[in-house]
């Protein structure tokens, strides 16, 4: 299997189940034009986040890692009119682009973008949260998971993106801070009696990676 095949299958999935959406495409274009890295979730992954939020009737969502607000739009669109989404972003320039994209998508009123180091911002986030999406610097994922667990209500869900990194997570010779952080996060999840979880590796237009899905049980 090659990257070419994975991209082709993603395109098939988009055509079949995730129709092109001018608002979301404009958000990606605006991020590209601002020179931001192309590291947003893929459309089918964004839709998975959206569906998970709808499946649990999410009214409050926390996102760690906004970038240009692409996944934020998918998640915000799952909220009822009185819902709320708090998203944390380190770079002011990224937050500015995200604010414009969210307003253009008509979900700006639902979203509170908080600027700064996520570890500093998390203690100020008000719970309970129904769904937390962790998609920032993996080295801090153990701390992000702990914070998310403290905020996410029983019955709520924590999703962590980019947990496979082209297989590096399973390569014992890889001791980079990022990969050690991912393994430590999975150890914490496994040892935590208040959650149940699984992880999936994914291939597609974004290469080989994966996501971890955690149900907060109590």
Ligand X SMILES: C[S@@+](CC[C@H](N)C(=O)[O-])C[C@H]1O[C@@H](n2cnc3c(N)ncnc32)[C@H](O)[C@@H]1O
| CB nearer ligand X, residue 117 or residue 196 | 117
From Mg ion, ligand X, none, which one binds at residue 144 (CB under 5 to 8 Å depending on kind)? none
Across 148-163, b (16+ Cβ under 10 Å) vs e yields: bbebbeeebbbbbbbb
| CB nearer ligand X, residue 67 or residue 189 | 67
CA distance linking residue 32 with residue 160, whole number of Å = 24
CA distance linking residue 75 with residue 218, whole number of Å = 24
From Mg ion, ligand X, none, which one binds at residue 71 (CB under 5 to 8 Å depending on kind)? ligand X
CB of 41 vs Mg ion, minimal distance in Å: 6
- Tokens in use for 193? 């009696």
What residues make contact with ligand X under the rule CB under 6 A? 39-41, 65-67, 70-71, 88-91, 94, 117-118, 135-137, 140
CA distance linking residue 138 with residue 135, whole number of Å = 8
From ligand X, Mg ion, none, which one binds at residue 117 (CB under 5 to 8 Å depending on kind)? ligand X
Task: Using CB positions, name the residue nearest to ligand X.
Answer: 65
Q: Beta strand 152-161 with 129-134: parallel, antiparallel or unpaired?
A: parallel
CA distance linking residue 117 with residue 119, whole number of Å = 5
| CB nearer Mg ion, residue 51 or residue 123 | 51
CB of 70 vs ligand X, minimal distance in Å: 3
What residues make contact with Mg ion under the rule CB under 5 A? 135, 161-162
């Amino acid at each position: 299997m090659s990257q070419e095949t994975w991209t082709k299958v993603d395109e098939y999935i988009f055509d079949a189940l995730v129709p092109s959406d001018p608002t979301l495409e404009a958000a990606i274009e605006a991020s590209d034009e601002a020179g931001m890295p192309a590291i947003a979730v893929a459309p089918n992954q964004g839709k998975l986040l959206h569906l998970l939020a709808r499946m649990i009737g999410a009214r409050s969502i926390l996102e760690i890692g906004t970038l240009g607000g692409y996944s934020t739009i998918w998640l915000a669109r799952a909220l009822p009119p009185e819902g709320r989404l708090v998203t944390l972003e380190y770079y002011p320039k990224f937050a500015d682009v995200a604010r414009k994209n969210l307003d253009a998508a008509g979900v700006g009123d639902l979203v509170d973008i908080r600027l700064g180091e996520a570890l500093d911002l998390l203690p100020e986030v008000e719970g309970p949260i129904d769904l937390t999406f962790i998609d920032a610097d993996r080295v801090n994922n153990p701390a992000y998971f702990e914070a998310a667990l403290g905020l996410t209500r029983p019955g709520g869900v924590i999703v962590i993106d980019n947990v496979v990194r082209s297989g590096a997570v399973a390569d014992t010779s890889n001791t980079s801070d990022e990969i050690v952080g991912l393994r430590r996060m999975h150890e914490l999840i496994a040892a935590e009696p208040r959650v149940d979880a699984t992880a999936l590796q994914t291939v597609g237009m974004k290469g080989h990676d994966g996501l971890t899905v955690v149900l907060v049980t109590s």
